[in-house]
Amino acid sequence: MAAERILVVDDDSNICELLRLYLEKEGYDVSTANNGADAVKVYKEKEPDLMLLDIMLPVLDGWQVCREIRKFSEKPIIMITAKGETFDKVLGFELGADDYIVKPFEPKEVMARVKAVLRRSGSADRQDIKEVRFDKLIINLTNYELIVDGKKIDTPPKELELIYHLASNPNRVFTRDQLLDEVWGFDYYGDSRTVDVHVKRLRAKLEGVSDKWELKTVWSVGYKFATTE
């Protein structure tokens, strides 16, 4: 089996080399870029399985790179930045990032995040088929496909895992913290607003499709996949 490919993007070449050393030690095939324009170029050439993306970049910043990549790829993106404010995290998730790490970081933490994100996005390699079906809706976690009213909708892995988890437990209410634990996993260090961002993006794809189910907010509690089927 070929080594999984990772693109590391940071304007600090020392950080790139540090992460390269750790990642290559774990068996990954690593490429690097030091500005946003090169990041997009190398991404198209190498087609990595995951990108570690700094925000403060010359030429194109990380937000612009993420937005550009999401036009043609849904492969996982982990944002790495010195900025830790909630606004930056929410914006990153809205643009399609799958995880977020704040500098200064421990390389071992980055390795754990990389493995966790790749494990989640690569679960299609498993033999068992994970799929739920409702009126005009198919959520297939084996192939990571979301089919709405007969059309395949490009969906980042974490969004698909979230809607699959909710739809697999119809009419059950989940708190935001439960969803963080059960969908993002114990190795995720984030706040509950992450869930809100992903639900908002899912609603843009699902709202009004059928009157037999709904991604519903339960005020002051959390969310549920409400169904009449």
The pLDDT of residue 116 is: 83
Distance, in Å, from the CA atom of 91 to the CA atom of 95, rounded to the nearest integer, reads 6
Q: Chain-wide mean pLDDT for the chain?
A: 87
Longest dimension (CA), the chain: 56
Share of the chain above pLDDT 70, in %: 90
Structure tokens at 160: 């698909």
Query: What predicted TM-score, i.e. pTM, was given to this entire model?
Result: 0.58
**pLDDT for 123 beyond 60:** no
The pLDDT of residue 46 is: 92
Q: Which residue has the higher pLDDT, 163 or 220?
A: 163
The pLDDT of residue 211 is: 92
Share of the chain above pLDDT 90, in %: 52
The pLDDT of residue 112 is: 86
Domains and CATH numbers, the chain: 5-121 (3.40.50.2300), 125-227 (1.10.10.10)
Strand blocks (E) in 27-141: 29-33, 50-54, 77-81, 99-102, 131-134, 137-140
Distance, in Å, from the CA atom of 43 to the CA atom of 18, rounded to the nearest integer, reads 20
pLDDT tens-digit map of 97-122: 888 888 888 888 888 889 888 887 76
